[in-house]
Structure 1
């Protein structure tokens, strides 16, 4: 398929949502610049080296770009410092539309990426902030939850019986595609969930049922969770994640939205269907 339309820079083009978004754009014939720290090749896209913390990599990434998909630097509890400087540079370089990956747990003006959310409408006339709930891929891919399931048959959280509207990263990418390419940008924050809210007890039951391997949910305190995560990531980010689990326990994520259906025209995938496909794919 021949390329057409404006060039889109996908930051984090080898990641969970960035890779899927880049794939959708290239499949539809859009010009894509795939940004990653190692300039990894992405099918159908032009790779470019990009590091949030190395401004010298930003000019080449932005050259000729009109739209950007932004994945914040992982593990940074306050990414606004590096992101806002980049976004001002992007605007001055000719970027007209920016789509930011945020979080359902972090509102506009809140901590971490919430500060970037608040600034985005002042920087760009065309924008969107995707605010997905927890990724289904956290339970199958490169994530402490998935590691615990694979290694011990345990998913450990401080969420208690709180529920989460887990969402498939493919559905996030589908919304990102529309936010980047539709004639009119959403100019809004979009909370993205799957079709049902599940507790981690529910998750453990579904994983047990689909895979045939017994998995349990181990409930711990936020303090215990923070200690465990601090061995894997910066302590500030571990503290943020532990507090988000506390918020889930208090009901903050017990919701579902119709955003995926409304934006893409199809319903979001349920966790059981997602896990069945993952299990078949992995053999």
Structure 2
């Protein structure tokens, strides 16, 4: 999707870094929070696809290095968390943190489009978002990189650590 931007940077910028993060851990405390609290569900069309969720704090730490460290080589930085997980595994991890059941409610791509539209999203945007879930189901996000650790000198945040820090958010406190 951003190939033209990357090509322009490569041809015109003396030093550049493009951050390409995977799905944010914060999606669980924003996009999915109401359904986690209200329905005990994370709705997706990802099937058994795995996602290496990343904490936005890690993305910010890499951005600081990219801006401040002249030794960082130009290029794309594919940023992931330390583990690729299915939404079933994520739901179990949330359940353990908040001491109540949360499950992955599996939808078809079309059912997810309808859910997004019912929440007020325009059709084209709903189709695009649901298509991203479909890509995850096909393995598009099933990878782990060490870029966060290599650039910042510390490991990427685990989902377990993130969830523990967000317990009050999930509980509505």
What's the TM-score once normalised by structure 1's chain length? 0.56
User: What pairs with 1:1-283 in structure 2 (closer than 5 Å)?
Assistant: 111=1, 113-140=2-29, 142-143=30-31, 145-230=32-117, 231-279=119-167
Q: Spell out, residue by residue over 1:118-139, the C-alpha distance to the aligned partner (whole angstroms, 9 max, x if none).
A: 4332342221111111000000
Superposed CA RMSD: 1.8
**Higher helix share goes to which structure?**
2
Rg (Cα) greater in structure: 1
The match for 1:4 is none
The alignment of Structure 1 onto Structure 2 pairs a total of residues equal to 170
Q: Can you give the 5+ residue segments of structure 1 that lack an aligned partner in the other structure?
A: 1-110
Distance 2:72 2:126 in 1: 34
**Higher strand share goes to which structure?**
1
Q: Can you give the 5+ residue segments of structure 2 that lack an aligned partner in the other structure?
A: none
The Cα shift of 1:114 comes to 4.2
Query: Do the aligned residues in 2 keep the contact of 1:127 with 1:185 (CA within 8 Å)?
Result: no
Query: Do the aligned residues in 2 keep the contact of 1:197 with 1:256 (CA within 8 Å)?
Result: yes
Distance 2:89 2:65 in 1: 31
Greater RCO structure (CA 8 Å; 6+ sep): 2
SS at match of 1:205: helix
